Structure 1
Amino acid sequence: MDKIMMNQLEFYGYHGVYPEETKLGQRFYVDLIMEMDLSKSAKSDNLNDTIDYGAVHDLVKSIMEGEPRNLVETLAEEISSSLLNEFSFIENVTVKVVKPDPPIPGHYESVAVEIMRSRSV
């Protein structure tokens, strides 16, 4: 299966379970792997035969900068289901949501959740 990857999309959101997270907000990163057949678009050189990266970014931004969620798991699930619903070309999607510098005891560079979802047949 062919893949389109979008890496380290950066957003500022107010997600988390601690009061300071929902008040102050923080940066989040999203990585996407979208699997689909790219043979038609490779031959046609036409954007209508593939995924518009700008439209994908806008969809992910609306979730990441939208309604606060407690869990990054929820954000990843919303992104994956929205991508599969919005873009019929996508067969499988992997979504990774990274929360740099989480406010938990000890020093952690980041925490992340990665999920893989497929289109229902």
Structure 2
Amino acid sequence: MDKVLINDLYVETVIGFYHWEHEEPQPLIIDLELGTDFTDAFTSDDLGDALNYAEIRKQIKMLCQESRYHLLERLAGAVVTHVFQSFPVTDVRLKIRKPHALRDAVAGIDTYRTREQMGIALPQ
């Protein structure tokens, strides 16, 4: 299986469990690993046969900036669902880091889901 990688995507969003976390946007760092098949793109050299990572980046940033969740886990669920609904990927590994959540460490989450686990059909 082939993978498209988007690493260190910086986005600012309002997220957090505590009231003070909703006073202003906080930075998040996102890594995406998207399972796909490069076979057609190997020979065609056509963007239509590949995942458009610029478009994926744009949509993920917009989704995050517009969200107002309490938990990184909930945001992760929204991102994974959006990717499966919008792009022909087979699986998603998503890491979200919240660098200002702790004073002496970087907190974050890591999740992996397949299209089958999420019960989402390929987009038309």
1:32/1:93 contact within 8 Å kept:
yes
TM norm structure 1: 0.90
1:34 equivalent in alignment to 2:30: no
How many residue pairs align between the two structures?
117
1:93 aligned residue: 92
1:10 aligned residue: 10
Moved over 2 A (4+): none
Cα distance in 2 for residues equivalent to 1:99 and 1:112: 6
Cα distance in 1 for residues equivalent to 2:43 and 2:97: 35
- Measured after TM superposition, the shift of residue 94 of structure 1 is 0.5
Query: Which residues of structure 2 form unaligned runs of 5+?
Result: none
SS at match of 2:23: helix
1:110 aligned residue: 106
Query: Which residues of structure 1 form unaligned runs of 5+?
Result: none
Cα distance in 1 for residues equivalent to 2:62 and 2:104: 27
Identity, % of aligned positions: 25
Cα distance in 2 for residues equivalent to 1:62 and 1:10: 12
Q: Pairwise CA RMSD of aligned residues?
A: 1.3
